[in-house]
Structure 1
Amino acid sequence: MRGFGVILILVLGCLLSASPMESWSEEPPAAPREFRAAWVATVENIDWPSKRGLSTADQKTEIDRILDVAADLNMNAIVLQVRTTADALYASELEPWSLYLTGTQGVAPAPYYDPLEYWVNAAHARGIELHAWFNPYRAQMKPGELADSHVSHTMPSSVIKYDRYLWMDPGNQQAAQHSLAVFNDVVRRYDIDGVHIDDYFYPYPVTQDGEKVPFPDDASWAQYQAGGGKLERDDWRRKNINDLIEQIYKTTHTIKPHVRFGISPFGIGRPGKAPGITGFDQYEELYADAALWLNEGWCDYFTPQLYWPIAQKAQSFPVLLDYWQSENTQSRYVWPGMYTSRVGDKNRGFEKQEIPDQIEVVRRRSEFPGHVHFSMKALLENREGLADTLKAGVYRSAALSPAMTWLDDSPPAAPKVKTEHTANGGRTLTLTPGDDEPVWLWGVWTRASDKWTFTTYPGPTPSIAVASSTTDWVVTAVDRCGNESSRVAGQ
């Protein structure tokens, strides 16, 4: 009888302990992989803060609500605009506080807090990536008072007035190096997951009396020529943008190799490059050679703004997506931007189903899909029930961001999992990293009634509760670049 007791203890010990997945006979599928993000625009208070001059407490409340909605929708990233017009929505010694926070440029929130630090910590506490979104060159949107520390005062020769805007001259090396320093400063001081830039390179052209107004960069062009430059003026302008983008990519990874760099250009590369596509030519008008950046691998993810519906032939969403994928010679990730805020728009509205349909288009065309909504406001407002539709459909399961193996291809060690029974018949899984590398996320599969369910938990989560209805569980550790450890399983 005593020998039987020993055998029973050994059998129970095997059932309750964690084992590598290789020994597990009924595996769950691979973890779903998809980048699911939304832009949070701060310019003109589009998304956050909802208006200028909100109290610190109200600003934090709005941050938490945005992140709670994102987490509830099983989204895994937020792209937060932290520099709109050579300003800062964070504590900076290089540029003044943004007027979109307090209503006055150069004035910090009171009581004092650092918004970007709060955003990063709050996002990470929910297992959500936080990408810092910068405008590289725009310096002022509307006439008004500028702080003494604004570039228009500290580097006046680098700033140009074009139409009603102030613009940092991309051909001015002081301006370019200043913007690069701003990006690098944020990468060094904040635990962000990505650096992101939008489509404002040289400004969108304006016309007067039916004629295009030239960008007034005669001074920097003359300086380039005086230094022996041989390029034609348009090619020189494109080179100015190319040089900055290459530098952002390289310096970001030199400072922190795991921080991703994403670019969000205008959605059409060049008219005629894709079958039947017509429209604005960013190569000629913005001096943005976006296909080159993708060809050269100067980004980790590429988010062309495909802001048209699937059925719009002249700017077809799937045709443009196929075009950009064809330019993806370095196998980076092409995760298009979608104009989600058009849902519910009376003048330019999308049908609600357009958004999940576009997500499915991307999934069918990519092994590692992803997308970014413009903007978070439409999801916060649940326009026409869109958020509910996404949650019940394409977002019904959690997903990991696709791994960026060109940055890091070493998976973390398998986690250590301790199992304890609870009084209600469930179990508590205590999770510990398998080595010294911090865990970004825990990927957890549970099975009940022969159905596997996938969930993610932030790395600092010490333990998770498993319901009594769960028959089996599987846990993996995920690092900052999305690499997943070998599986640990139990009952």
Structure 2
Amino acid sequence: MLNHQRRFFLLCLVCGVLGCSSKGNIISPVVVEAPVRVSPAVPENVKGVWLTTLSGLDWPTPASSDEPSDERRIALQKQALIDKLDNLVSLGVNTIFFQVKPDGTALYRSALLPWSDVLTGVVGKDPGYDPLAFMLSEGHKRGLRIHAWLNPYRVTSNTQQKTVTALRRTLSASPSSVYALHPEWIRTASDRFVLDPGIPEVRQWITNVVVELINNYAVDGIHFDDYFYYETPASRLQDDATYRQYGQGFALKGDWRRNNTLLLIEQVSMAIKAVKPQVEFGISPSGVWRNAENDARGSDTRGGAAYDISYADTRLWVERGLIDYIIPQIYWPFSREIVRYDTLVKWWADVVKPTKTRLYIGIALYKVGVPSQKEPDWAQDGGVPELRRQLALNEALPEVKGSVLFREGFLHQPQTGPAVDYLKTHWGK
């Protein structure tokens, strides 16, 4: 049970979220075209897939976005989504993680985010229909659970001048891009524009986005991917000034960064449970929390650790019950000694065992059928034996409640044909 102080915080948080947009104005109600449907129950064994919209990787196709006829564009995009849903149902998939906020734009009607350019080629242009509403209507009709997948901090996927110009142009529209509204929140990292996670107003803005979404759409879950602090050695997130301003009490900048990520997860989790407790909240972090050589509680691995690279203490989130499910991305085969699939799955199973957090495992469909010197098992017999081993282990461990494939587009590639045929017989039976 929440104590009185936490209840008071929740009340203040929700009132604040519901009251104002990032411009300080009252958020107008969003008219959603999909009828409210009863969501399918959480399946005993999740058979999931990520459906990516960033750069139209899985949907919509660039060709449809460039279609000069709005009527034909809408028809093409809707039909493509219907075809995907029908195919997923035939494979036995029961849960879709649909990317509705790939960056600082949205694939749903929002008072906080402009429309995504993947729909029409133009940031902020109304596509003439509501993709998330359409997905929910068609998905629920087919018995699929739909989780709205958001990237919390990414604003763009590049820093090109044409991108900057397009975002600045939204300042005269409503809603405007966060890039144009709050340049003081923007940093460059990994050669893209991102929000600075150390700024409290940024975390509140992200919470506002989530609450607006669950208030207006009958999504079954809110899903974050693993891009928290995402940087490369050549393109670091320059947050020294933010650390000086907000990092009192933290001797190490890494600890301060991890606390910022924790604060976001806590705030979003509490807001969801206060507004719509039936909506699940889950995250798909890197498969390695920490390596045992750095922390005795870590896994017997030697891979890139979320704790040290993304500044995400994913194990702590599970232990505190901040998330309903976790999907570690275990994108390696059984034979990859430094990050063995079975080693990591069993480690995560032990982590969730004393908690209420459900464990699903993220599987690298994108590697299946692709020759690799370091990971040859992915190409052996079309990758079917490796995929079979991974699913068999997941299904044998009672703590593992499902498997999720990355990503939907790879179900249609020639190299994954044998694996897809296997899925039809295994999942679709």
Q: Normalising TM by the smaller chain, what interval?
A: 0.7 to 0.9
* 2:363 corresponds to: 338
Picking from 384, 397, 401, the partner of 2:417 is 384
The structure carrying a bigger strand percent of its residues is 1
Picking from 268, 278, 286, the partner of 2:288 is 268
SS in 2 for 1:327: helix
* 2:229 corresponds to: 202
Q: Spell out the pairing of 1:399-438 with structure 2 (5 A cutoff).
A: none
Distance in 1 (alpha carbons) for counterparts of 2:319 and 2:391: 24
Cα offset, 1:129, TM superposition: 0.4
1:35-86 residue CA offsets vs partner (Å, 9 max, x unmatched): 0110000112111112233511111011101110111112111100011111
* 1:74 corresponds to: 92
Distance in 2 (alpha carbons) for counterparts of 1:358 and 1:258: 30
Cα offset, 1:229, TM superposition: 4.0
Q: 1:164 to 1:214 in 2, by over 3 A?
A: closer
1:366-406 residue CA offsets vs partner (Å, 9 max, x unmatched): 255201100111224472232221121x2144xxxxxxxxx
Distance in 2 (alpha carbons) for counterparts of 1:53 and 1:190: 28
Q: Spell out the pairing of 1:63-142 with structure 2 (5 A cutoff).
A: 63-109=81-127, 112-142=128-158
Cα offset, 1:32, TM superposition: 8.2
Q: Spell out the pairing of 1:20-419 with structure 2 (5 A cutoff).
A: 33-51=44-62, 52-53=65-66, 55-109=73-127, 112-142=128-158, 143=160, 144=163, 145-146=166-167, 147-148=170-171, 149-207=176-234, 214-225=236-247, 228-272=248-292, 273-274=297-298, 276-328=300-352, 329-347=354-372, 349-350=378-379, 351-366=383-398, 369-381=401-413, 383-392=416-425, 394-397=426-429
SS in 1 for 2:420: helix
SS in 2 for 1:242: helix
1:147-173 residue CA offsets vs partner (Å, 9 max, x unmatched): 331111101111112242111000011
Cα offset, 1:248, TM superposition: 1.4
1:269-293 residue CA offsets vs partner (Å, 9 max, x unmatched): 1122555410112212211111111
- Give, as a single letter, the amino acid of the residue that structure 1 aligns with 2:245: Q
SS in 1 for 2:282: strand
Distance in 2 (alpha carbons) for counterparts of 1:380 and 1:120: 23
TM-score w.r.t. structure 1 length? Answer: 0.69
Distance in 2 (alpha carbons) for counterparts of 1:98 and 1:313: 41
Gaps of 5+ in 2: 1-41, 68-72
The question of whether the paired residues in 1 share the 8 Å contact of 2:303 and 2:339 is answered with yes
Distance in 2 (alpha carbons) for counterparts of 1:354 and 1:323: 19
- Give, as a single letter, the amino acid of the residue that structure 1 aligns with 2:355: Q
The question of whether the paired residues in 1 share the 8 Å contact of 2:190 and 2:232 is answered with no
Distance in 1 (alpha carbons) for counterparts of 2:428 and 2:187: 48
Which entry has the higher C-alpha Rg, 1 or 2?
1
Q: 1:44 to 1:180 in 2, by over 3 A?
A: same
The question of whether the paired residues in 1 share the 8 Å contact of 2:188 and 2:236 is answered with no
RMSD: 1.9
Distance in 2 (alpha carbons) for counterparts of 1:43 and 1:345: 23
Distance in 2 (alpha carbons) for counterparts of 1:187 and 1:268: 30
The question of whether the paired residues in 1 share the 8 Å contact of 2:230 and 2:310 is answered with yes
Q: 1:367 to 1:244 in 2, by over 3 A?
A: closer
- Give, as a single letter, the amino acid of the residue that structure 2 aligns with 1:166: F
Q: 1:274 to 1:304 in 2, by over 3 A?
A: same
Moved more, 375-384 or 58-67: 375-384
The structure carrying a bigger helix percent of its residues is 2
Distance in 2 (alpha carbons) for counterparts of 1:277 and 1:346: 23
The question of whether the paired residues in 2 share the 8 Å contact of 1:305 and 1:336 is answered with yes
TM-score w.r.t. structure 2 length? Answer: 0.79
Distance in 2 (alpha carbons) for counterparts of 1:80 and 1:341: 17
1:76-135 residue CA offsets vs partner (Å, 9 max, x unmatched): 1110001111110111110111111111211121xx100000000000000000000000
Distance in 2 (alpha carbons) for counterparts of 1:275 and 1:150: 41
Distance in 1 (alpha carbons) for counterparts of 2:322 and 2:427: 30
Q: 1:229 to 1:67 in 2, by over 3 A?
A: same
Distance in 2 (alpha carbons) for counterparts of 1:158 and 1:99: 22
Q: 1:200 to 1:278 in 2, by over 3 A?
A: same
- Give, as a single letter, the amino acid of the residue that structure 1 aligns with 2:389: D
